[in-house]
Chain A
Amino acid sequence: MGDVRILEIKESVFADNDRRAHQLREELREKKVFLLNLMSSPGAGKTTTLVRTIEALKGEFTIGVMEADIDSDVDARTIAQTGAKSIQLHTGGMCHLDAEMTRQGVEGLGIEDVDLAILENVGNLVCPAEFDTGASKNAMILSVPEGHDKPLKYPLMFEVCDIVLINKTDVLPYFDFDIELVEQHIHKRNPRAKVIPICAKTGEGMDAWADWLRTEIKKWRAGE
């Protein structure tokens, strides 16, 4: 038995990740690359929304997509069909991406020629909210079938998001989903969050979403 010593740490578990995320964000800012972190539950429509987003913006920006999933490459294949550069990241069972994994993704994707990099996070409303990826902005998709009470159940996710897309508005007649109420729930937890109803399938609301991205990318490049 050697001598027993006590080492005081006194630091949040997330502090180390927060530092790495901050560093990555600053490096991307210098390179004028806008990184969007897109989060949602599984099946809310991240990939379909992305395909529409790429169609709307590919004439203006060079877009690269990182698809994070526990397994498979179906999403990366779908994105590749749009002509955008895409890679699949496997999280090896992990429920989220942290800043270090995001950095590896960015390096794997190659961002020299990219203006808009999009990280499609693992489908999950809990852990991705806790681990800052280093993204310029955080977006999340809440789909109508999930219900308008989600901001009450997963407050942190809604607190960290700059924008919330309410997807699948085409099925509103079949669900007891109250758009006004969901906006109230979101703004109670996060007054600065922008809320846009969209339907990735029909294209409704996609112009407003694309406009928001254009404005944010412009501000990011201007160093704001």
Chain B
Amino acid sequence: MHELGVTFHVMDHLEKVALENNASKICKVTLELGEVSTVIESYLQSCWKWACAKRPLFEGCELVVETLPAVTFCEGCEDTYATVEYGRVCPHCGSDKTYLLQGNEFNMKEIEVE
């Protein structure tokens, strides 16, 4: 269960941030998730709910996930295209010399605390 592992990892980090800022409650957490990252949002939401109930600081904490679109760069024609739609081969010139520019991110953006 990959998502549960990363949920604990995120919560451990945010707990530290909250305590350093003298917060007694984390009400809302915003994460940025790339379209082709290895984390599935619906699983993450389920794990989040489950883990929140076990950590007083996160009681009732809302999880907001912002999706970052995946974009691939083609070295052949130096253009970009949507990764999810076209995969590894460039739809403009047919080259397979391509690499992911953006889309595998998993970032903690901000938290709302009391």
A: which residues have CB within 8 A of B? Answer: 1-14, 16-17, 93-96, 98, 126-127, 130, 156, 188
Contacts and interface: CB of A to CB of B under 8 A. Distances in A.
Contacts, number: 72
A12 B105 contact: yes
B114 A1 contact: yes
B64 interface: no
Contacts of B14: 9
B111 A6 contact: yes
Contacts of B24: 2
B6 to A, nearest CB: 6
Nearest to A188: B96
B55 interface: no
B87 to A, nearest CB: 10
A130 B27 contact: no
The B interface is mostly helix, strand or loop, or mixed, namely mixed
B38 A10 contact: no
Given A14-B106, A94-B5, 20 more contacts: A2-B114, A4-B114, A5-B112, A6-B110, A7-B17, A7-B18, A7-B111, A7-B112, A8-B110, A9-B17, A9-B110, A9-B111, A10-B107, A10-B108, A10-B110, A12-B105, A13-B6, A13-B31, A156-B38, A188-B96
A17 B107 contact: no
19 contacts: A2-B24, A4-B112, A5-B21, A5-B114, A6-B110, A6-B113, A7-B18, A7-B110, A8-B109, A9-B110, A10-B108, A10-B109, A10-B110, A13-B9, A16-B13, A95-B1, A98-B9, A126-B38, A156-B104
A17 B10 CA distance: 11
Contacts of B23: 5, 7
Interface residues on B, range: 20 to 34
B112 A93 contact: no
Contacts of A94: 5
A11 B114 contact: no
Contacts of B5: 94-96, 127
A3 B107 contact: no
Closest 9 CB pairs of A and B: A2-B114, A9-B108, A13-B106, A94-B5, A8-B110, A7-B111, A127-B2, A12-B107, A6-B112
A94 B12 CA distance: 15
Contacts of A93: 1, 4
